[in-house]
Amino acid sequence: MKYNELTRRYFGAPSTAGILSGPGVMRGAAGNRERGTWVQFDVQVVSGTLTAARFLAFACPHTIAVAAFVAEQAIGATATARLPQDVRALVERFAVPEEKLGRILIIEDAWAAALTSH
């Protein structure tokens, strides 16, 4: 499979991979490994602003790249359960094949789970 430059960059060096701990950290996950896609986000919120975000994933390169991008782009934004970009925009930006749309929706679910966990 061919990957576009953005997918190769974020998959090859996902600077936001990992976990967070400490005050204000919330965690959410979606999917499952048995079905081939699982994503977890850890987010740190201070005074309503996302100050840090990390992800873990068992997934294809497209899914890992998009999760890394989402975590990176969210820093400094208002803490909201919506992705920094909508799913369609992410699919286009990362040239995700249509048959992988469900995997990107898992990212959206994991993000929402993290931002709504208490």
The model's pLDDT over 27-59, given as tens digits with 9 standing for 90+, comes to 999 999 999 999 999 999 999 999 999 999 999
Would residue 59 be called left, alpha or beta, if left means φ above 0 and alpha means ψ between -120 and 50 degrees? beta
pLDDT at residue number 46: 92
* pLDDT (average), residues 11-17: 96
Find the largest Cα–Cα distance for the chain.
43
User: Which residues neighbour 65 within 8 Å (Cβ) at sequence distance 6 or greater?
Assistant: 3, 6, 7, 8, 9, 10, 11, 14, 94
Q: How far apart are CA 80 and CA 59, in angstroms?
A: 24
Q: Does the structure show a pLDDT above 60 at 72?
A: yes
Asked whether 43 and 29 are in contact (CB, 8 A), the reply is no
**DSSP output for 98-117:** GGGHHHHHHHHHHHHHHHH-
At CA 94, angle to CA 112 and CA 56, rounded to 5? 45
pLDDT at residue number 23: 87
| Fold adopted by 5-111 | Sufe protein. Chain: A (3.90.1010)
The first and second tokens of residue 70, run together, are 């989402």
pLDDT at residue number 118: 57
Q: What percent of the chain has pLDDT over 70?
A: 99
pLDDT at residue number 96: 97
Q: Does the structure show a pLDDT above 80 at 26?
A: yes
**Mean pLDDT taken over the chain:** 94
Predicted TM-score (pTM) of the model is 0.94
pLDDT at residue number 84: 79
Name which residue leads in pLDDT, 69 or 84: 69
